Structure 1
């Protein structure tokens, strides 16, 4: 079952959305970093990846013009966004501010 994006981000648990593309080099660098973030924070965060080439209307809705772009949602509200690659500790610290 494919869940509606709005259902996913309308969560008490912070949801980190990674807008990426298969052809994007920095996106490939970010993927293992996000895996480490998930390992460190466990169930305290959801991490989902959105392929901008396959989800153009969603990317347009959030005005994602460059990849990777990360957005953090909680209870359906966008709390933070950042384009480019960040280090694990920087991402963890942003998420922890919104627990």
Structure 2
């Protein structure tokens, strides 16, 4: 992955949702192991239905110039949110270290 590009990320978590909202686990929003930028990427991807691939180009459109996409991806991999899923593609999962995924 080039340092200036976001990879494609597939949402591989099923979160409670209705026609307007997706409920994110509080364990994600309170996770002090990841930066606000990394949490933002994880939460953005999680708003898509499981199985949806969010393109790196889409993620890059909302990316802050001061943040390094490669560093944020490495942070999410290290924290257990992203698993490699081929070249320049990852899967967003619920990190095992945070315990079971909450249910609706």
Using structure 1 for the length normalisation, give the TM-score.
0.31
Using structure 2 for the length normalisation, give the TM-score.
0.30
